[in-house]
Amino acid sequence: LCLLANGVLACSYGRPGNRIMFSADGSGLQWTDHLQLYEYQSGSFGYTGIVEVEPGKLLYVYDRHDRFPEYGGRLTTAIQGVYITVTRR
């Protein structure tokens, strides 16, 4: 969980898939749809993490077990990240 500076509460989790959801009022009583950021077909342990890196901007990290060109196409596990901008409506 991460309470953003704008009052939105974010929750990241894994299994099934690596996902994120938001509580617009920050209470955690009502959540948005669960947004899937990575559907692991080759595998994932389902570990995720989030941190607000600047107001309204999250860094979402997750593990990924896949074949990567950077490692000669070998099956390996890596940590990947994506930035998510969160605004209130």
CA–CA separation, 66 and 75 (whole Å)? 5
pTM of the model: 0.84
Beta strand residue intervals within the chain, DSSP E = 2-3, 9-14, 18-23, 35-38, 48-54, 57-67, 75-85
pLDDT at position 34 is 87
CA-nearest of 53, 68, 72 to 80 is 68
Peptide bond into 16 cis (omega under 30): yes
pLDDT tens-digit readout, 13-59: 988 788 999 999 999 999 988 888 877 666 778 899 999 999 999 99
Both tokens of 68, joined, read 């990567």
CA–CA separation, 73 and 81 (whole Å)? 20
